[in-house]
Amino acid sequence: MGANGLIPPHGGTLVNLVVDGQRREALEQAARKMPRIQLLEREQCDVELLAIGGMSPLRGFMGAADFHRVCDEVKLANGLVWSVPVTCSTDAGTAERIELGQPVALSDEQDRTLAVLTVEEKYPHDKAKEAEKVYLTTDAAHPGVAVVQSQGEVCLAGPLEVLTPRHEPPFPEHRRTPAQTRAAFAEHGWRTVVAFQTRNPIHRAHEYITKCALEICDGLLIHPLVGQTQKGDIPAEVRMKCYEVLLANYYNPQNTLLSVFPAAMRYAGPREAIFHAMIRKNYGCTHLIVGRDHAGVGKYYGTYDAQRIFDEFDPAEIGITPLRFEHSFWCNKSGGMATAKTTNSSPDERVFLSGTAVREMLSRGERPPAEFTRPEIADMLIEAMRTTE
């Protein structure tokens, strides 16, 4: 354990790339005359995580050596475990006009400057390798692969100085940097903290596994992803209201913290499970819940592949403990939540609904069974679907 009894960040040092004071003012002025690159939504999310230390030990977008070793060996060039490329790309024409050593301004879709990148390296973006190695498919229907294919042909790398991690960020009351979550854990006296990664409302199965995890840890970090997701996922605004209601009514606030995770979903399955573990370690968590089809999409990954990938590494290399949960459900025979490990009930004695079935019920204004989701949450989802139709 590191300072205050908390787990050390990945690589040992929590990075902070946000500049202030005179340096910020100087960069703001200089950025007006720099070449500009408008970042895709995923790259904007990555800038925020890089800036606040969520991606420690990275100090900027990856160079070629890191990119290729991450793709091939799930490690950075220095040998530290890392599972997904973090790149800034542009088109070949723009890259050709940028000289090595030249600073460029990175902006959002409204042309607001987020950061300044001093370009020390330009290299071809091997999209085919990234798709095959990281996503295990080159299928353009895969949402993560689709983002990779939309990126530029040339990657830029070099020191990154961030003026603002995000303009007008949503959920400011729940937006904490890794330094801030670590401070909160220390204030609570939590030495062990389990993180729950989610991009969906929490239903009864999720509630069950988070509370099981909390029985063996001092604190629980509900850490919903609020960056880029695919079409069809429930909007973050709706999910956050559901989390707030659920935590206010069914969790002990002395042992639970809600804080947003400003990342983009890559839908990279096993590779993304490792990525989520590294980042949650930076936030100060000692454990991560890895459930059924963690960070998966469609039929691209096996049901428990995201759990098995942790077996490929020495636990000391990872440094954060994965808590592996099977698919849980309400068991009518047992009269409570269960998994195949804990009950001998038959399938027809288990309350399980597919995502499609739940969406159809909600769209008709029907509550799913209370054994599947809390009624308050069902009502909020019904109302959200009604107002977006």
Of 36, 59, 200, 367, catalytic? 200
pLDDT for the residue numbered 356: 76
With bands split at pLDDT 50, 70 and 90, how would you rate the model's confidence at 319? very high
Higher-confidence position of 301 and 357: 301
Q: Based on the domain organization, do 158 and 176 belong to the same domain?
A: no
Same domain, 281 and 353: yes
139 and 181 in a single domain? The answer is no
If asked whether residues 130 and 53 sit together in one domain, one would say yes
Question: Domain check: are 180 and 289 in the same one?
Answer: yes
| CATH number for the domain harbouring residue 374 | 3.40.50.620
| Percent of the chain predicted with pLDDT > 90 | 91
Mean pLDDT, the chain, rounded, equals 95
Domain count, the chain: 2
- Is 44 within the bounds of a domain? yes
Is the predicted pLDDT of residue 190 greater than 70, yes or no? yes
Question: Which pLDDT band, with edges at 50, 70 and 90, does 4 fall under?
Answer: low
Listing DSSP states for 52-76 in one string gives: HTTTTT--SS--HHHHHHHHHHSB-
Q: Is 188 part of any domain?
A: yes
pLDDT at 305: 98
Last residue of a domain, one of 113, 141, 162: 162
Angle, CA 322 vertex, CA 237 and CA 248 arms, to 5°:
35
Q: Would you say residue 256 lies in a domain?
A: yes
pLDDT above 60: residue 329: yes
CATH number at residue 48: 3.10.400.10
Is residue 212 domain-shared with residue 352, that is, in the same domain? yes
**Residue of 197, 174, 181, 334 lying closest to 258 (CA atoms):** 174
Answer yes or no: 249 catalytic: no
Q: Quick check: is 199 catalytic? A: yes
Is 274 inside any structural domain? yes
Task: Give the model's pLDDT for residue 353.
Answer: 82
Residue where a domain terminates, one of 135, 162, 189: 162
Q: At residue 374, does pLDDT exceed 90?
A: yes
Choose one of 114, 133, 162: the last residue of a domain: 162
pLDDT for residue 1:
66
Q: Examine the domain organization and report whether 59 and 81 are in the same domain.
A: yes
Are residues 197 and 149 part of one domain?
Answer: no
Residue 375 lies in a domain: yes
Residues 215 and 139 in one domain: no
Distance, in Å, from the CA atom of 353 to the CA atom of 345, rounded to the nearest integer, reads 17
Residue 167 lies in a domain: no
**Residue-range definition of the domain harbouring residue 192:** 172-388
176, 199, 239, 266: the active-site residue: 199
Q: pLDDT confidence of 354, banded at 50, 70, 90?
A: confident
Query: Cα–Cα–Cα angle for 371, 251, 217, nearest 5°?
Result: 110
Task: Provide the pLDDT for residue 389.
Answer: 58
pLDDT digits (tens, 9 = 90+) for 257-297: 999 999 999 999 999 999 999 999 999 999 999 999 999 99
Range in 14-28, 197-211, 351-365 with the lowest mean pLDDT: 351-365
* CA–CA dist 357, 263 (Å, integer): 28
Residue 248 shares a structural domain with residue 132: no
Q: Please answer whether residues 305 and 195 qualify as being in contact, where contact means their C-beta atoms are separated by less than 8 angstroms.
A: no
- 243 found inside a domain: yes
pLDDT in tens, 197-211: 999 999 999 999 999
CA distances for 136 relative to 208, 211, 269, 301, angstroms: 31, 33, 9, 8
Indicate if 184 and 234 belong to the same structural domain. yes
Query: Above 60 in pLDDT, residue 163?
Result: yes
Average pLDDT over residues 41-63: 98
What is the model's pLDDT at position 171? 95
Pick the closest to residue 168 from 346, 288, 329, 48 (CA basis): 48
Based on the domain organization, do 128 and 180 belong to the same domain? no
Which tens digits make up the pLDDT trace of 94-121?
A: 999 999 999 999 999 999 999 999 999 9
* 355 pLDDT tier (thresholds 50, 70, 90): confident
